[in-house]
């Protein structure tokens, strides 16, 4: 499917349909989110953004939107061009090894939202969603793993036919945390005992605190909680503990108190908003698709944005430049709406 999607939008790009301004971007700002990058595709996307957008640090963009704080003239590399910010979720080593040098080459800044418990982790596949992806990678060539996934799905009450790890993970998110942990632990133990190819395992590694320090000339850091729970499944006190602990850890390790939060999986509720305010965050980003209005006329036509529920646009590892361009200007989502197929936030590493 990614190849078909990229081919389709490559054709649309050639006839300039991906350049249509579906969102009125001169009056709106966009925030992009990446989980993992494919160096070649990422390099093309960043090169395009550096030429056609004013790419601001996330805090600067949010201050512009919510406080009408002027952008320093030195940051306006492309006067008259739309505004945009770049973010990365989780804190994978791939972000620091692959994305960092590309951004540095183009003199661009980005924000990385760190899961603080997983930074410096030497555990085998510490993130539960990576366990699911690794199992599905092996299942492509292994009847044994296909059978094991069917058995675990049956035990969890999940329909036996699940086409990919994203669907499987989405279904696991609906389970009680302890049931989800049981299934993930079973799969993790099997993966560790049977072994997975090193090039696959390498892509699931998280960064170290030395990586975080080394790359602070390009990256600033926000909180993605301490252990990446689905916050809306937790009571207020536990949500607050997650947000405070991760903030304290980042401040201790970097010397800077994070002011921006990223909700794991985009899940939040009224208690989460209250916890974010109590923990001292000024802004919080979600996985909801959307753009931020800049001009007063745009704001009158649109609901006033919530600084603790900021939308973003997800760029997946397999997305070509043409797809990324279509997502940023809204063409992609217009076509998705016509086809009635929702866009999922794919956290895939793009490895086989």
Q: Give tens-digit pLDDT for 105-137.
A: 999 999 999 999 999 999 999 999 999 999 999
> Tell me, what's the pLDDT at 149?
87
The tens digit of pLDDT for each residue in 250-292 reads: 999 999 999 999 999 999 999 999 999 999 999 999 999 999 9
Q: Quickly state the pLDDT bin for 29 (edges 50, 70, 90).
A: very high
Q: Given this model, what pLDDT does residue 3 score?
A: 59
Q: What is the mean pLDDT of residues 28-38?
A: 93
Read off the pLDDT band of 17 (50, 70, 90): low
Helical (H) or strand (E) element with 310: strand 310-314
Its pTM stands at 0.89
pLDDT attached to residue 347: 62
Residue 226 has pLDDT above 80, yes or no: yes
pLDDT band at 215 (very low <50, low <70, confident <90, very high): very high
Q: What percent of the chain has pLDDT over 70?
A: 83
Q: In this structure, what are the phi and psi dihedrals at residue 289, rounded to the nearest 5 degrees?
A: -80, 130
Give the least confident one: 30-44, 201-215, 228-242, 298-312.
Answer: 298-312
pLDDT at 23: 47
What is the 3 state secondary structure string of 97-115?
HHHHHHHHHCCCCEEEEEC
Contacts of 128 (CB under 8 A, 6+ apart): 172, 180, 181, 184
Question: How confident is the model at residue 13, as a pLDDT?
Answer: 55
Q: Has residue 184 got a pLDDT over 50?
A: yes
Long-range contacts of 335-344 (CB under 8 A, 24+ apart): 343/289, 343/314, 344/166, 344/170
Check residues 240 and 166 and name the one with the higher pLDDT.
Answer: 240
Mean pLDDT (the chain) is: 87
Q: What is the mean pLDDT of residues 10-26?
A: 54
What's the rounded Cα separation, in Å, for the pair 299 and 17? Answer: 26
Q: Which helix (H) or strand (E) holds 135?
A: helix 128-139
pLDDT level of residue 49 (50, 70, 90 thresholds) = very high
Among candidates 273, 221, 259, 262, which has minimal Cα distance to 345?
A: 262
Helix (H, G, I), strand (E, B) or coil at 140: coil
Q: What number does CATH give the domain 24-121+206-339?
A: 3.20.20.370
Predicted local distance difference test score (pLDDT) of residue 39: 83
Return the DSSP state at 79: T
Q: What is the pLDDT of residues 140-182, one digit of tens each?
A: 888 888 888 888 888 777 765 567 888 889 888 988 888 899 9
Average of pLDDT values for 225-229? 97
Q: Given this model, what pLDDT does residue 302 score?
A: 55
Gyration radius from the chain CA atoms? 20
Q: Percentage of the chain with pLDDT > 90?
A: 62
Give the pLDDT score at 298: 47
What is the residue extent of each domain of the chain?
A: 24-121+206-339, 128-201
> Higher confidence at residue 195 or residue 89?
89
């Amino acid at each position: 499917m990614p190849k078909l999607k990229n081919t389709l939008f490559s054709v649309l790009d050639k006839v300039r349909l991906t350049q249509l301004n579906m969102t009125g971007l001169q009056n709106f700002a966009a925030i992009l989110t990446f989980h993992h990058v494919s160096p070649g595709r990422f390099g093309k996307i960043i090169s395009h953004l550096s030429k056609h957008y004013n790419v601001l640090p996330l805090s600067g963009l949010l201050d512009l939107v919510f406080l009408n704080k002027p952008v320093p003239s030195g940051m306006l590399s492309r006067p008259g061009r739309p505004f945009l910010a770049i973010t990365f979720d989780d804190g994978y080593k791939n972000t620091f090894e692959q994305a960092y040098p590309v951004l540095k080459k183009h003199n661009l800044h980005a924000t990385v939202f760190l899961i603080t418990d997983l930074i410096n982790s030497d555990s085998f596949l510490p993130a539960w969603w990576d366990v699911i992806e690794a199992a599905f990678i092996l299942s492509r060539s292994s009847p044994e793993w296909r059978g094991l996934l069917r058995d675990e799905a049956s035990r969890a009450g999940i329909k036996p036919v699940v086409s990919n790890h994203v669907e499987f993970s989405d279904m696991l998110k609906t389970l009680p945390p302890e049931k989800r942990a049981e299934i993930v632990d079973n799969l993790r133990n099997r993966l560790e005992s049977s072994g997975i190819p090193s090039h696959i395992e390498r892509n699931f590694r998280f960064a170290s605190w030395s990586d975080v320090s080394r790359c602070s000339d390009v990256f600033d850091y926000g909180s993605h909680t301490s252990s990446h729970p689905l916050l809306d499944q937790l009571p207020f006190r536990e949500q607050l503990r997650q947000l405070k602990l991760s903030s304290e850890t980042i401040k201790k390790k970097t010397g800077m108190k994070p002011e921006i939060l990223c909700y794991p999986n985009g899940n939040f509720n009224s208690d989460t908003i209250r916890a974010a305010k109590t923990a001292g965050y000024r802004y919080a980003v979600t996985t909801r698709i959307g753009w931020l209005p800049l001009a007063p006329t745009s704001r009158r036509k649109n609901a006033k944005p919530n600084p603790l529920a900021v939308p973003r646009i997800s760029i997946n590892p397999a997305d070509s430049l043409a797809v990324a361009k279509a997502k940023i200007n809204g063409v992609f989502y217009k076509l998705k709406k016509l086809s009635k197929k929702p866009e999922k936030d794919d956290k895939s590493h793009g490895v086989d």
